[in-house]
Chain A
């Protein structure tokens, strides 16, 4: 898992070279005609910029595979990107810039639930399918027919965290730590409900605001609560890294089961040994399936570093969108929507896609453990009932 600047520079150079060799991968917004174009909202600046880089990498790898296999509707597929600046207004602006280009047939939205909430009204007006990665369960319950989720939502992650903590780790007294944004709040709410059903108690429910510089009061509150296990929903890896280090420094050794960010490549790098022996519910786990292993191999071949869920969901989104458009046989938004909803048993990097009527493609999570910095797959818990 250890990565260096040199590796990143080499990776960047490789991608740049790949861009020259395979010019159909990403083109400027002005390039049109002869290609089938989809838009992508992603953070290039702001605190999510690192995640944006992973997201773009995943999309590029999928795009190359799609185009190698003949493209979409006989044309090469192309992605047009706009920077959301990791802010809600930035996301709305980025989406509206993309939506104003009539030849874009579908979009990739954000991995951040708050930004997808912000964009949702414009997505409804635009009336074209948007593949997104935010895990707030509410997003697919808004009645917006154009939202398609490419990660499992947090009602599933909460159930998996609760089940693993209560059943496997045999811990009943929980401290829930979460960001106060839409993702963290809804995750904590879902976890509280799941723990209630499991017969466990919540000794502490503690929110924090993103971009915190110090978690001492949070850690001391955990210590005082007497919780014997921690469940968490962290949005940004920087926050998670600071919390992890302070948690261990201040002597809290309770087991910790976190949402997917706890096993992100960046979080592992920042927190190092502070995250050893923690558990995560990960939508992407390299050893969870052949499709995940193949994606891991393809990603490593290009980027020289391991992938994580920041890139796996965009890989799946581009692949599935291409498949749906080909199945629809045309670029009519309603036809693409119907084709997406009809997808069953598609083996993606994140799991098996079976879209329900709400637009949720995945219905389960992997449980993984941090073994001295290596992410070890434990088991997959899937709630899909066809």
Chain B
């Protein structure tokens, strides 16, 4: 039982990270009908920004966090203008390829600017963790779970109970109709990119003390987050959360009870199974309709 509880805690912690990044995937997909394959690199860039501000320059953690998030908002805006906007009238394929190009660009630019050495970002809390009975609770994982819960609640409230959120929803559902209704569609899409970059950035900053800060961290997380969105259903916020958590738990338990080396394979077996048997995901709409 101790073993199960320990695995469950770790699985939920890792799954919450996937869920956070998956939320960014979902938001952009809803607004633009394309998958942003640079979502993971948003996490990586934010983590490196935190290292620059909090470790290299030794500025206060809260200030570094605000600056890193501000940087991500700017990056999201630039990404929209440079990667999505010029191709917005094309089919989804050139835009997807453009996001892949952007992810390579972001990874290599960070490598060129910062160098290849992995970095350590100290955790928010000095206490690394504590025992509750036989189960070790890592404070950083607790923080990740808590922040994910808060962001999901915020997102639900924002989309369902604010005028801006409803405008964003209208834009994602039918851009032409939204424009006819006077909604500034380009502005809404810009806002979506900014918010998803911030979400990816928060995920990167939260996970950095656990996984270290490296050029590869974004790609690793994004692959799993992408699988999570497929499981949950592209375009479905709840699905992204459930998909992320499910994936974290599946791979952790799969590693413990079936095979550690095939840990990553479990995620992709589940992904393939969903694509083959239920492409709309647990809750989501049919991918075919969107794509």
Contact = CB atoms under 8 A, between A and B. Distances in A.
A145 B118 CA distance: 37
Nearest to B18: A213
B115 A8 contact: yes
B260 A206 contact: yes
Contacts, number: 99
B129 interface: yes
Interface stretch (A43-51, A195-203, A279-287, A345-353): A43-51
Contacts of B10: 214, 216
Contacts of A272: 120
A218 B216 CA distance: 22
A42 to B, nearest CB: 11
Nearest to A207: B261
B138 A249 contact: yes
Interface of B: 3, 6-7, 10, 14, 51-52, 55-56, 108, 111, 115-120, 128-129, 136, 138, 210-212, 214-216, 220-221, 252, 255-256, 260-264
Greatest chain B CB density within 10 A among A12, A52, A250 is at A250
Interface string A201-217: 00000111101111011
Contacts of B255: 214, 217-218
Interface stretch (A109-117, A234-242, A311-319): A234-242
B142 to A, nearest CB: 13
A241 B136 contact: no
B260 A270 contact: no
A4 interface: yes
A269 interface: yes
Interface residues of A, number: 39
B111 A270 contact: no
Contact of B117 (A8, A217, A249): A8
A249 B261 CA distance: 22
A6 B56 CA distance: 7
B7 A217 contact: yes
22 contacts: A5-B51, A8-B117, A45-B108, A45-B111, A47-B215, A47-B216, A49-B116, A53-B117, A207-B261, A209-B263, A211-B216, A213-B211, A214-B14, A217-B255, A217-B263, A220-B7, A237-B118, A238-B214, A249-B136, A250-B6, A266-B117, A266-B118
B256 to A, nearest CB: 4
A343 B134 CA distance: 58
Given A47-B214, A53-B116, A213-B221, 4 more contacts: A5-B52, A211-B216, A217-B255, A237-B118
